[in-house]
Amino acid sequence: AGDAAAGQQKSATCVACHGAEGKSTVPLYPNLAGQNAPYLVQALKDYKQGGRSGGQAEVMKAFVAGLTDEDMDDLAAYYHSLKP
């Protein structure tokens, strides 16, 4: 499982859209706080590999391009840990 504290360190680039507490700044973007970690990991992997389209997929693809599997696990654990 991921490391939420490490995930927080890695979440700086996510804050602009998903909010500082995982509640998105724009209602067209999803809240992430309390979301299921396996779902988030799958979404990040799909975005990175181009297996997820729709919504802001192209923007997300750029943001996740440099993430390792461990980064994804940590980010998912972090957002799951936030109070929705």
In the complex with a copy of itself, the residue whose CB is nearer, 9 or 64, is 64
Q: Does 55 bind a copy of itself (CB under 8 A)?
A: yes
Collect all residues with Cβ–Cβ distance below 8 Å to 62 and sequence separation of at least 6. Answer: none
What is the spatial distance between Cα 19 and Cα 43, in angstroms, rounded to a whole number?
18
Binding-residue pattern over the window 14 to 53 for a copy of itself, x denoting contact by CB under 8 A: ----------x--xxxxx-xxxxxxx--xx--xx---xxx
42, 55, 4, 70: CA torsion to nearest 10? 50
Number of residues that bind a copy of itself (CB under 8 A): 23
Which positions touch a copy of itself (CB under 8 A)?
24, 27-31, 33-39, 42-43, 46-47, 51-55, 84
